[in-house]
A = this chain, B = another copy of it.
Amino acid sequence: MKNNSEIWFSDQQTDSVSLNIRVTNQLYHGISEFQEIDVFQSESFGKFLVLDGEVLFSESDEFIYNEMVAHVPMAVHPHVKKVLIIGGGDGGVATEFTAYPEIEQIDVVEPDEQMVEVCREFFPESTRGFDDERVQISYQDGLRFVRGRENEYDIIINDATDPFGHSEGLFTKEFYGSCFRALKSDGIMVYQHGSPFFDEEESVFRSMHRKVFKTFPISRVYQAHVPTCSSGYWTFGFASKKYHPITDFDEQRWNERNIKTEYYTTSLHRAAFMLPRYVVDILHEEEH
């Protein structure tokens, strides 16, 4: 039956900007121990997951985020065996890593079990990595999980999104220090770096770079176009103990893997680190 009502979901990007998406159905609504969880069906973005009123990802653009988070460090680090994904309850990033046969273990730490169950039910494509026997989900706080671990992971992904909500602890100097120690001596951490465009978000962007720049010897920022993110423009941090994202990038090795992608290419890899002048200037200002 055709749905004649117009239902619009509004994703508030700042106090005065929102991305509005017409939805055909609300597929799920629930309140977990940690957050409010909604799943909507839409024409333009397919199904999308909403946590506490904010879009976490949509079927039509999650590939951009997942590929840029997973393939960039994998095309740099020459021998990855153990990966940790903090806050990866939607499974998208873990699934991307399962494409690499040399990886032996992928630990996913996600406090919210209900969120994982909702994703399993409504986003089987994203969560299919959870069925890979190398993937282990721990339902606990990311900060607690990583604290005290030493010299264990080749790659750590901080997939948590919200510097103000229940994942606040994942954006502190202490957390970045714990990740540094949990990484092997040639480990790489990739983390969400937010969007620098709106004035309201610039201070978080600055503070993240300041903290990580002081903790890791190599700290670079790269970008992608993710329509459901704030202003459609998202950045990622590449923090590393040894490998540089461009000079240690092995284009040929990655291309020989023949991994099918929709966004990432090895040309785009280099290009993603070339940032607009205003972003370069912001980052430089925090590097002292």
Contacts and interface: CB of A to CB of B under 8 A. Distances in A.
Interface in A262-278: 262-265, 267-268, 270-278
Interface stretch (A14-22, A98-106, A120-128, A211-219): A14-22
Contacts of A64: 276
- Counting chain A residues whose Cβ lies within 8 A of the other chain, the interface size class is 35 or more
Contacts of A22: 15-17
A34 interface: no
Interface string A16-56: 11111110000000000000000000111100000000000
A262 B274 contact: no
A265 B273 CA distance: 12
A231 interface: yes
A233 interface: yes
B17 A10 contact: no
Contact of A225 (B20, B199, B233, B273): B233
Contacts of A262: 276-278
Interface string A186-230: 000000000001111000000000000000000000010101000
Nearest to A272: B271
A276 B261 CA distance: 9
Contacts of A43: 15-16
A278 to B, nearest CB: 5
A52 to B, nearest CB: 19
10 contacts: A16-B21, A44-B198, A44-B200, A197-B225, A197-B227, A263-B278, A267-B274, A268-B274, A268-B275, A270-B271
Given A17-B20, A268-B277, 8 more contacts: A15-B43, A16-B22, A16-B42, A16-B43, A232-B232, A262-B278, A265-B274, A271-B274
Interface of A: 8, 10, 14-22, 42-45, 61, 64, 197-200, 223, 225, 227, 231-233, 261-265, 267-268, 270-278, 280
